[in-house]
Amino acid sequence: MSSEQNEIRNLREKIQAAKKSSSTDDLTNTPKPIGKIMKVVVEIVAAMAVGLGIGILVDNYFETRPLFIIIFFLLGSAAGILNVFRVAKSLQNN
């Protein structure tokens, strides 16, 4: 019994030492500035690409080139800008 208790005590001491050595202050989950910038860029580019893709598909279907490409590109751009504002606001709150 005493050897098991010693092993448990040693294990607890090792766990406490590991917890102290890896403090949570050093491992914060705040994103780095380059990550924030990349997130904003990806948000706007993805929205524009989706809008452009939908515009191309609709124009090919109705054979009305470039009407819907322009319309959906502008809608995608507006959606991307809205997403950028939302991301910026959430990053500002954090």
6-32 residue pLDDT tens: 999 999 999 988 888 766 555 566 778
pLDDT at 56 over 60: yes
Mean pLDDT of 59-72: 95
Number of domains in the chain: 1
Buried b / exposed e along 43-60 (16+ C-beta atoms within 10 A): bbeebbebbbebbbeebe
Of 2-11, 12-21, 35-44, 50-59, highest mean pLDDT: 50-59
* Alpha carbons 52 and 32: distance in angstroms, whole number: 31
State the pLDDT at residue 94.
67
- What is the domain extent for residue 9? 2-93
Whole-structure pTM value? 0.65
Phi, psi of 64 (to 5 degrees): -125, 40
